[in-house]
Chain A
Amino acid sequence: MSMDLRTITIEPLRQTFGHLARRMGADKPASRYMEGTMDLQPVENYHYRPTWDPSHDIFDPARTRITMKDWYALKDPRQFYYGAWTLARGRMQETATADFDLADELGLATGYPAAGKKVINEVLLPLRHVAWASNINNSAVAAYGYGIAISQAAAYACMDQLGIAQFITRLGIAFDEIDALAEAKQDWLEAPVWQGLRHYVEDMMVMDDWFELFVTQNFALEGLLFPLIYDKLTDRLNAAHGPVLSMLTRFQREWFTENVKWVDAVLKAAAADNPANKALLGEWIAAARQRSVEVLTPVAELAFGTDGAAVLDEVVQQLNARAAKAGIPV
């Protein structure tokens, strides 16, 4: 049915839903992010206890030691609801795909110097498995986190990490290094240089506290790994072999810069809620930073030779600065 309507202005009865008006303290229009996020997770009157975890409710704040007066304070500064997230990623993948196409057309990747390829094969390609681990670990946050603010952002991060694992795989394919992908997997499973890191991400897979997992995976490990690889290592390879690698890792670089905003905002909000949180986050970060440095040291040496320790130290300073900005003493 189509109907010709004149443009008229009618006075609405209300501006937004009741739960949002109460949250904002006024009846005023709410953003689509708020409409799709705030106060939507059930918090009461559950029918049954999980058969897989009878000591908790379906959604249960006690699945972490962090406490919050308002779990929706853990909101995403990017305001990613599904539509906003997928539009942002849609644009990023469009650029990335164009980059890969161009590299292919001009033979930039296949013509990449062997010395550079060797570093990429040995250092970069195994990282697709690290991204896969992050996919698993973020799915745990999405599954067991409390409130839709954290669960949806973790679900998107989980998919982002799958995307990253796939962009690394694509890089291997673009460099015509399908065999190298297999060798990289072998290294990931057996080469001593990777076993510390693999041990660490496997330990995270059995971590009970989802918030600690969030801090360990998303703040500490990635906070060191991404700058180490997509900033320091690409710079070094670019200087030697031209900017192709930067072009083909643009997604990861842009993603990290953006994702940090979310991760840091979550930490900042949790730390600001109460002193016990702040102390706990400090402990978690200190422990995760120490172990991350340990397991990344051989990787840094593989990538930067004798400069490894110094480069790693630079990225540790960046991480410390982020923690300080989030109000967490470490």
Chain B
Amino acid sequence: MDMKVSKKLGLKERYTMMTRDLAWDTTFQPMDKVFPQVGYEGIKIHDWDKWEDPFRLTMDAYWKYQAEKERKLYAILDAFNQNNGHLSVTDARYINVLKLFLGSTPPLELMAARGFSMVARQMVGAGPRVACMMQSVDEYRHFQTQIHSISNYNRFYNGLDEFAHQQSRMWYLSDGKSFFDDAITAGPFEFMVAIGFAFEYVLTNILFVPFISGAAYNGDMAAMTVGFSAQSDEARHMTLGLECIKFMLEQDPDNLPIVQRWIDKWTWRGTRKLASVGMMMDYMLPKRIMSFKEAWEIYFEQNGTALFTDLARYGVKVPKCFGQTIEEKEHITHQSWIGFYMKPDACPFHTWIPAPDELDWLSEKYPNTFDKYYRPVLEHFDRQEKAGKRFNNKTQPMNCQVCVSTIKFNEPGDPMEMCFRETVYKGEKFHFCSDHCKEIFENEPEKYVQTFISSHAALQGKCEPEGTDVNAHDYRPGARMHAYWRMDKRATGDFNGSEDQKNFAKWRAQATKN
């Protein structure tokens, strides 16, 4: 008699059947040949089965939820575009936020998509493989929905049209590029700490919450919807990053120093990258949400402290740079905006001197630093601009060999002094923006001597538009940077007097007059 009892599977059991039970240890090919990358970074994993799935989403459920989200998202985008929604943003200065965002973010989402495919291929455990692959397709979603939401703006405003060409060429985009290039060329575990943990867990909120609320406050339904729609994906990404850290730390005590070094490194690298997000919050949003300093306090200091308190039981310490970032939060956004203002010919978005009430807002939000150090500079530039002597810095910047940002940040403890470090490796001198970047270099000099620094590369003739004859007698390296960047002149320089400003005013008047 058949006594087989109908088994009811629990949720966890069922998910196991649907994922890790599919996998097996290969025998015709050795496991270390099938998964060749999991050993060389020094991380020791003894039992992949100990991986705790951070979420349990089978593909049918995934497709169901994601399809619902996409249907809503694209319906809103279509309606926004049809109704000329771009004319409902606060003022045309806001569109420069989108220019900065389109150049810097979708290309990095794409790198995340590719990077997670790579890690998904290399992880031995079925649990992390599935979660990474799911994140990979989520990241495809993010870069595409971001492009789709901004695509309509590109039809009406300047400076958005060459983002794909500029992603690997533009000097100010190379900090983000170097960040992701660094992560993707590292091994799978370091990638997980860099992107899965430092970026997704520690820093993502400060990147996306201000951007999404900024869009909402400034009437950009398209970008706001895209941002909100990505939030539930990000929640999954955050749990994956955290689980990966915990898994490594629980597997072997020898993993701790390696993981700690990565946490220190990637938190710092991420922090440097966020200077431009802060600049957007403090200077570029016509209607402000909160200052970068306030956001940093909530999303980094408070949440970060809670996170690292939680991780203390594994022996993890607060990232080394924590103290320095707290000091810098009152400076970096001003230094960044001033830096961009000073180079009006070299970026495809507009800059401006904040209006008097905006300067007052900055004084209020930055009582320790703004009036003392930055207001005088901005007011000086304003006077010069009005006198027809607009400041224009045409010199090549000095860049940090690690984070690639222009060396412009101040010496810790001394806001009047520029921080500058250097080291000599194999007879060659390398420059850094900070002690942290110098230390990252010294840990892996063979990697960081390779950094692509466009100001150096340009002088070596490596940044020339197609068809340049480098042997011509009148050839001067770097003289044709605008062509190399495919920079639209109309997109550069001051917002005041720009085509964007005029068109927006004209169109908005047409759309609002009765």
A residues contacting B by CB (< 8 A) are: 1-8, 10, 12-19, 32, 35-36, 39-52, 58-59, 81-83, 86-87, 89-94, 96-97, 110, 128-129, 131-132, 135-136, 139-140, 142-144, 148, 151-152, 155-156, 158-159, 162-163, 165-167, 169-170, 173, 176, 178-179, 181, 185, 188-189, 198-199, 202-203, 205-206
Set of chain B residues within 8 Å of A87, measured between Cβ atoms: 67, 70-71
Interface size on B, residues (CB 8 A): 107
Q: Contact between B121 and A136 (Cβ–Cβ < 8 Å)?
A: yes
Q: Contact between B133 and A17 (Cβ–Cβ < 8 Å)?
A: no
Which of A42, A94, A131, A173 contacts B167 (CB under 8 A)? A42
Whole-angstrom distance between the Cβ of B30 and the nearest chain A Cβ:
9
Set of chain A residues within 8 Å of B117, measured between Cβ atoms: 139, 142-143, 151, 155, 158
Q: Contact between A17 and B161 (Cβ–Cβ < 8 Å)?
A: yes
Docked complex Cα distance between A199 and B503 (Å): 65
Set of chain A residues within 8 Å of B4, measured between Cβ atoms: 176, 179
Docked complex Cα distance between A162 and B448 (Å): 38
Q: Contact between B184 and A202 (Cβ–Cβ < 8 Å)?
A: no
Which of A17, A129, A169 contacts B18 (CB under 8 A)? A169
Docked complex Cα distance between A129 and B23 (Å): 7
Set of chain A residues within 8 Å of B17, measured between Cβ atoms: 169, 173, 178, 181
Set of chain A residues within 8 Å of B494, measured between Cβ atoms: none
User: Given A1-B219, A155-B133, A173-B9, A94–B64 Cβ distance below 8 Å?
Assistant: yes
Given A129-B22, A158-B133, A205-B26, 5 more pairs with CB closer than 8 A:
A5-B84, A13-B503, A83-B70, A83-B141, A93-B60
Which of A1, A91, A165 contacts B67 (CB under 8 A)? A91
Set of chain B residues within 8 Å of A158, measured between Cβ atoms: 117, 120, 133
Q: Contact between A15 and B181 (Cβ–Cβ < 8 Å)?
A: no
Set of chain B residues within 8 Å of A189, measured between Cβ atoms: 24
CB neighbors of A among B390-438 (8 A): 404
Q: Contact between B219 and A10 (Cβ–Cβ < 8 Å)?
A: no
Docked complex Cα distance between A166 and B18 (Å): 5
Docked complex Cα distance between A59 and B114 (Å): 10
Docked complex Cα distance between A36 and B113 (Å): 13
Binds A, one of B146-154, B243-251, B265-273, B359-367: B146-154
Most chain A CB within 10 A, of B27, B67, B182, is at: B67
Q: Contact between A159 and B156 (Cβ–Cβ < 8 Å)?
A: no
Set of chain A residues within 8 Å of B313, measured between Cβ atoms: none
User: Given A1-B90, A139-B117, A143-B114, A50–B185 Cβ distance below 8 Å?
Assistant: yes
Whole-angstrom distance between the Cβ of A131 and the nearest chain B Cβ:
8
User: Given A2-B88, A36-B144, A199-B28, A143–B120 Cβ distance below 8 Å?
Assistant: yes
Q: Contact between B88 and A3 (Cβ–Cβ < 8 Å)?
A: yes
Q: List 27 A-B contacts (CB under 8 A).
A: A2-B88, A3-B512, A5-B85, A6-B512, A8-B84, A13-B158, A17-B154, A17-B163, A17-B164, A35-B144, A45-B177, A48-B451, A52-B185, A58-B181, A58-B184, A82-B140, A83-B148, A86-B67, A86-B70, A89-B59, A129-B24, A159-B59, A166-B58, A173-B9, A178-B9, A202-B28, A206-B34
Which of B33, B58, B60 contacts A206 (CB under 8 A)? B33
Q: Contact between A19 and B147 (Cβ–Cβ < 8 Å)?
A: no
Q: Contact between A5 and B511 (Cβ–Cβ < 8 Å)?
A: yes
Docked complex Cα distance between A296 and B111 (Å): 38
User: Given A10-B510, A155-B113, A155-B133, A49–B185 Cβ distance below 8 Å?
Assistant: yes
CB neighbors of A among B71-102 (8 A): 71, 73-74, 83-85, 87-88, 90
Q: Contact between B28 and A18 (Cβ–Cβ < 8 Å)?
A: no
Most chain A CB within 10 A, of B71, B187, B511, is at: B511
Set of chain B residues within 8 Å of A206, measured between Cβ atoms: 29, 33-34
Whole-angstrom distance between the Cβ of A20 and the nearest chain B Cβ:
8
Docked complex Cα distance between A140 and B37 (Å): 13
Interchain residue pairs A-B with the least CB separation, the first 7: A90-B67, A36-B144, A163-B59, A12-B155, A47-B181, A132-B22, A142-B117
Q: Contact between B177 and A18 (Cβ–Cβ < 8 Å)?
A: no
Q: Identify whether the interface residues of A are mostly helix, strand, loop, or mixed.
A: helix
Which of A7, A42, A43, A91 contacts B107 (CB under 8 A)? A42
Q: Contact between A82 and B155 (Cβ–Cβ < 8 Å)?
A: no
Set of chain A residues within 8 Å of B143, measured between Cβ atoms: 36, 40
Q: Contact between A51 and B66 (Cβ–Cβ < 8 Å)?
A: no
Set of chain A residues within 8 Å of B110, measured between Cβ atoms: 40-41, 148
Whole-angstrom distance between the Cβ of B156 and the nearest chain A Cβ:
6
Set of chain B residues within 8 Å of A5, measured between Cβ atoms: 83-85, 87-88, 511-512
User: Given A6-B512, A8-B84, A148-B110, A93–B63 Cβ distance below 8 Å?
Assistant: yes
Q: Contact between B144 and A82 (Cβ–Cβ < 8 Å)?
A: yes
Whole-angstrom distance between the Cβ of B268 and the nearest chain A Cβ:
17
User: Given A36-B148, A173-B9, A202–B23 Cβ distance below 8 Å?
Assistant: no
Which of B62, B63, B134, B186 contacts A51 (CB under 8 A)? B186
Whole-angstrom distance between the Cβ of A5 and the nearest chain B Cβ:
4
Q: Contact between B28 and A159 (Cβ–Cβ < 8 Å)?
A: no
Docked complex Cα distance between A29 and B497 (Å): 29
Does B314 touch A at the CB level, under 8 Å? no
Q: Contact between A17 and B40 (Cβ–Cβ < 8 Å)?
A: no
Q: Contact between B512 and A90 (Cβ–Cβ < 8 Å)?
A: no
Whole-angstrom distance between the Cβ of B234 and the nearest chain A Cβ:
15
Does B389 touch A at the CB level, under 8 Å? no
Whole-angstrom distance between the Cβ of A237 and the nearest chain B Cβ:
21
Whole-angstrom distance between the Cβ of A156 and the nearest chain B Cβ:
7
Whole-angstrom distance between the Cβ of A141 and the nearest chain B Cβ:
9
Docked complex Cα distance between A46 and B451 (Å): 8
Q: Contact between B187 and A15 (Cβ–Cβ < 8 Å)?
A: no
Docked complex Cα distance between A86 and B486 (Å): 35
Q: Contact between B219 and A3 (Cβ–Cβ < 8 Å)?
A: yes
Closest B residue by C-beta to A148: B110
Docked complex Cα distance between A142 and B6 (Å): 40
Does B169 touch A at the CB level, under 8 Å? yes
Closest B residue by C-beta to A114: B2
Set of chain A residues within 8 Å of B358, measured between Cβ atoms: none
Docked complex Cα distance between A188 and B22 (Å): 11
Q: Contact between A19 and B145 (Cβ–Cβ < 8 Å)?
A: no
